[in-house]
A = this chain, B = another copy of it.
Amino acid sequence: MASITLIGSGNVAWHFGKAFVAAGHRVDAVYSRNHSNAKALADLFFDCRVAYDTDFSKSNSTVFIIAISDSAIEEVVSEIIIPDNAIIAHISGSMSMEVLSKFSHYGVFYGLQTFTKGKELTISEVPFGIEASDEASYSKLEALALSLSKKVQPINSAQRKVIHIAAVFACNFTNHLFSISESILKKEHLDFSLLESLIKETVQKSLEIGPQKAQTGPAIRGDEKIIQQHLDYLSNEPELQELYKLITNQIKKSND
């Protein structure tokens, strides 16, 4: 069992706090610049206090998890003091581990997931990427991750950056395509839910046989007649037309 201080009180702190407690750990304290958010999160746990100060030198916590936005990390880190034997780790997909190099023991505790406050998720299926300043800290962060999930592996800062870029394509950009799709359907008074079964099957197939083999549709078939019909339809929306052309050409090339 680890004694943990959460630095941050947003989506990710909320999910991690709940997951830590569910796994039998103790959340000692929550620190956040937003005191009322910190209190709301601390209130979810037994014996958890709100920390109003960044001097944790007297804290009993053995692990400090920084779960705040990337842009705030450096400033908050500059203020924080922790006990010399404690470990501090951030959870960011993009920040280097070395932003924490002023501490004796530090690392990264990266959960590859999109966290939405209030929406439960199966943390045991979330892959965790661990990186640490020293072997002992790695072992401890690894053990902490393994108490939450069965998928834990070492991932260094360079790999983490690349994973983040891949995730932007596969998740944020995919979600944008869904938005486009929804807006196209709306104009014909059709509901986005019409595509639910198709989207689920597309994703399942892609994960099962790999996206290269799973590709279907007019671009991979080289069906110029249909492609032209679609471009004509999109002629009043030059941005969508441009995106349609760009991706269609990339899919065609991938078939060469």
Contact = CB atoms under 8 A, between A and B. Distances in A.
14 contacts: A94-B229, A113-B197, A116-B216, A161-B233, A163-B194, A167-B195, A169-B180, A170-B180, A171-B195, A171-B199, A171-B217, A175-B216, A176-B215, A199-B207
Given A125-B197, A201-B113, A170 B177 contact: yes
A251 B197 contact: no
Interface stretch (A56-64, A79-87, A238-246): A238-246
Interface string A178-211: 1111101101101011111111111101110011
Given A121-B201, A196-B207, A246-B242, A165 B114 contact: no
A43 B214 CA distance: 27
Contacts of A167: 181, 195, 198, 217
Identical chains bound together, number: 2
A223 interface: yes
A173 interface: yes
Contacts of A233: 161-162, 165
Given A158-B188, A169-B177, A172-B215, A225 B113 contact: no
A19 interface: no
Contact of A112 (B71, B162, B168, B197): B197
A202 B174 contact: yes
A48 interface: no
A50 to B, nearest CB: 26
A247 interface: yes
A78 interface: no
A211 B179 contact: yes
Given A162-B185, A173-B177, A226 B94 contact: yes
A236 interface: no
